Chain A
Amino acid sequence: AAGVIQSPRHLIKEKRETATLKCYPIPRHDTVYWYQQGPGQDPQFLISFYEKMQSDKGSIPDRFSAQQFSDYHSELNMSSLELGDSALYFCASTSTGQGEYEQYFGPGTRLTVT
């Protein structure tokens, strides 16, 4: 079965640079979520989109922004990167329009800020 696709899988950036992470949800899923997982930590919710509109917002820094496009893929844009932004970034998807609430996670993007 098709899963959530994330790219790139690994990314190395320097402080103050910009990064863009991409997420392609499971086909026919309409909702996308972004989570950040620091070393040894549980995933922390950043933001979500349903049908291309922001549906909920968590602890996402103002330096980060995200959007969902007409083909339902999503991008997380991160500017003015800081060392503390080094983490695993997960995207998850579900089909809210079908009354589903289980979130299926992608393999993650490992961001390292040096």
Chain B
Amino acid sequence: QKEVEQDPGPLSVPEGAIVSLNCTYSNSAFQYFMWYRQYSRKGPELLMYTYSSGNKEDGRFTAQVDKSSKYISLFIRDSQPSDSATYLCAMKQGGSEKLVFGKGTKLTVNP
């Protein structure tokens, strides 16, 4: 079993929809949680960064971390066709430099 599980999708939604992306993890030592957006053949682009549990909002994006359930989420409001990409969750434990990624969810927002 992978340390980080993420449904690969694909996920297809109409423009303007609210998108919910999720990851679960098994390592309770993870403390730092990130969401990346990756367009085809490009580098991962950091969207959100959260330390420990809680919510964080940045424009149309909201990240949630529930450490008790080992579950993290990314919500995208008013989704746009330009949001079409693969979304990767990533996490890190204190004392380690290594980011552990989920497999990524491929999202398509249809005009």
The contact size tier of chain A is 20 to 34
What is the distance, in angstroms, from B38's C-beta to the closest C-beta of chain A?
Answer: 9
How many residues of chain B get a CB closer than 8 Å to chain A's CBs? 23
State in angstroms the CA–CA spacing of A42 and B92 once bound together: 15
A90/B98 contact (C-beta < 8 A), A42-B103, A102-B49, A103-B34 known? no
A105/B45 contact (C-beta < 8 A), A42-B102, A42-B103, A42-B104 known? yes
Report the tally of A-B residue pairs with Cβ distances under 8 A. Answer: 55
State in angstroms the CA–CA spacing of A61 and B44 once bound together: 23
A45/B98 contact (C-beta < 8 A), A105-B44, A107-B42, A110-B41 known? yes
User: Is B88 engaged at the interface, CB distance under 8 Å to the other chain?
Assistant: yes
- Given the complex, which residues of B lie within 8 Å of A104, measured CB to CB? 46
Listed in ascending order, the chain B residues whose CB lies under 8 Å from chain A are: 32, 34, 36, 41-46, 49, 51, 88, 90, 92, 96-104
In contact, A43 and B41 (Cβ under 8 angstroms) = no
In contact, B46 and A105 (Cβ under 8 angstroms) = yes
Per CB-CB distance, the 9 closest pairs between chain A and chain B, nearest first, are A56-B97, A42-B101, A48-B97, A105-B43, A45-B98, A102-B49, A105-B44, A107-B43, A108-B43
A43/B46 contact (C-beta < 8 A), A101-B32, A101-B92, A102-B34 known? no
- Given the complex, which residues of B lie within 8 Å of A56, measured CB to CB? 96-98
- Given the complex, which residues of B lie within 8 Å of A108, measured CB to CB? 41-43
Mask of A71-114 contacts with B, CB within 8 angstroms, 1/0: 00000000000000000101010000000011111111010000
A43/B101 contact (C-beta < 8 A), A104-B46, A105-B44, A106-B43 known? yes
- Given the complex, which residues of A lie within 8 Å of B103, measured CB to CB? 41-42
Q: Which of B42, B92, B99 sits near A43, CB closer than 8 Å?
A: B99
- Given the complex, which residues of B lie within 8 Å of A88, measured CB to CB? 41
- Given the complex, which residues of A lie within 8 Å of B90, measured CB to CB? 103
